[in-house]
């Protein structure tokens, strides 16, 4: 018998994300990411026209994207706490400790979502540049 059945308390349901919000949060996130991608692309391609600043700028750009994604993974502990339920955690922890642990992991993911927006914004112009370099320039050179 489990500890909760012995004490007469009901076991709590696993902590899950609340679905009572409308999808407006997803739309806002998408618009925010698209706006930052556009701004980032404008800065990237305007720097590309400046021959003097281009080499240090691209190195800093790639370094910023790398540091951002590494920090995101480190802060979120490599997603080792993804989709945890109370039953998956150690029996040595009390039920309150388990709930606090799961809530802390969820809060950490929410607090670091800005890092993903920044990373996507930094990597988008690099991908556009690579696509243009290997496809558009290749097609134009054959004409």
Q: What average pLDDT does this structure show over 91-99?
A: 83
112 pLDDT tier (thresholds 50, 70, 90): confident
Q: Which residue has the higher pLDDT, 61 or 12?
A: 61
The reported pLDDT for the residue numbered 26 is 81
Q: Crossing angle, helix 113-131 and helix 24-49, to 10 degrees?
A: 50
Q: Which residue has the higher pLDDT, 114 or 5?
A: 114
Token pair listed for 28? 């806002």
The reported pLDDT for the residue numbered 121 is 92
Closest CA to 126 of 79, 52, 68: 68
Q: What average pLDDT does this structure show over 25-39?
A: 88
Q: What average pLDDT does this structure show over 113-127?
A: 91
Percent of the chain with pLDDT over 70: 80
Token pair listed for 19? 């679905």
Q: What average pLDDT does this structure show over 70-99?
A: 80
**Alpha carbon 85 to its chain's center:** 21
Residue 77 pLDDT more than 70?
yes
DSSP conformational letter for 14:
P
Residue 99 pLDDT more than 60?
yes
The reported pLDDT for the residue numbered 8 is 47
3-state secondary structure of 81: coil
**Alpha-helix residue ranges (DSSP H) falling in 50-80:** 51-75
The domains of the chain are located at 32-76+114-143, 78-111
For 94, phi and psi rounded to 5 degrees? -75, 165
């Amino acid at each position: 018998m489990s500890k909760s059945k012995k004490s007469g308390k009901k076991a709590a349901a696993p902590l899950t994300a609340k679905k009572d919000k409308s999808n407006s949060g997803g739309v806002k996130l998408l618009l925010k990411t698209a706006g930052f991608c556009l701004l980032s692309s404008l800065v990237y391609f305007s720097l590309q026209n400046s021959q003097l600043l281009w080499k240090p700028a691209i190195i800093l750009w790639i370094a910023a994207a790398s540091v951002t994604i590494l920090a995101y993974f480190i802060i979120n502990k490599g997603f080792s706490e993804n989709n945890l339920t109370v039953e998956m955690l150690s029996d040595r922890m009390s039920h309150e400790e388990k709930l606090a642990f799961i809530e802390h992991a969820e809060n950490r993911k929410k607090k670091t979502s800005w890092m993903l927006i920044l990373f996507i914004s930094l990597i988008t112009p690099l991908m556009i540049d690579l696509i243009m370099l290997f496809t558009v320039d290749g097609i134009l050179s054959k004409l």
